[in-house]
Structure 1
Amino acid sequence: MEKLVNDFSFGLFFWQMLIFIGLIFLLKKFAWKPILDSVNEREEGIRNALLSAENARKEMANLQADNERILQEARMERDAMLKEARELKEKMISEAKSEAQAAAQKETEKAKAAIASEKNAAMAELKTQVSSLSLEIAEKLLKDELSNKEAQVKLVEKMLGDTKLN
């Protein structure tokens, strides 16, 4: 190190300083400025990318919230439709039951009316047959009793005895 201090030359130092300052100026103009510009552009690009990513994240969160809301609305609508369908089913079943009961009641009433009509017809026919049989029996009895003169007189006296004059 002593040798460097002893061999020190101001001319060489001046030219070295001049070259060094020129080199710094050239580097600043042609190397550092483009390097710093590209670093700044890269930094700005990264900042923009981060902002875009943050905006995209916020938009995704909004979309997820919208999707959840839409899903909730769809579930509510589905539940309402199912409830309405159940109510409609119950209504249809109850209407069908009441219609079936009314039809059964109507058929029962028709059957009862038909049975009553048939019963009345049978009773009328039975009465007709009984009266016809009674007349035949009476006719035969009268023929037997009136065939004899003594029996006729007896019958007339008996009938006269049964009727009282007022």
Structure 2
Amino acid sequence: MSERGFTVQGARLGIYLNDHLAGATFGVGIARRIAHQHRRSGGGADLERIAEDIAQDRQTLLAIMGSLGVPARRYKIYGGWAAERLARLKSNGVLYRRSGLSALIELETLRLGVEGKTLIWRTLLVIATDRHDLDESLLRSLLSRARDQIETLEALRLEAVAATFSPESG
């Protein structure tokens, strides 16, 4: 046992959950930014819904951490926030404005983040078999929602691929 009654496994779970919390913080920022930038496009409503879902999933993760007695580490939250801000600086081949490549890379980044989110829900489902403080039906619902988000993001990504690499895109 360590301080606060944590076992080694409990400490590892705390680190794991906080790492995913940092990723979720990054994901909320990028999802909201993408939704805002594409609010008038054909996929704008889908992106807005996904951004809202991702924000809700982050809150759910915080609630799960609280129910497990895992404190949220502020430095991890700030790290996720800072990483999202730094990601805005990446080169897109155009100096002063966004390019189609920006949208494609952002959609891919967001999809990868949602893929990562499916992993935490799957991991918690495995752990839930031995714990009564994890709601398996909630975790299954979160996993299903993440899979739906992946399908939507993939459809939007394929549209961005076609627009970015078509001969007319110049």
TMscore range, shorter length:
under 0.3
Larger proportion of helix: 1
Q: Which has the higher contact order (CA 8 A, sep 6+)?
A: 2
TM-score (norm 1): 0.21
TM-score (norm 2): 0.21
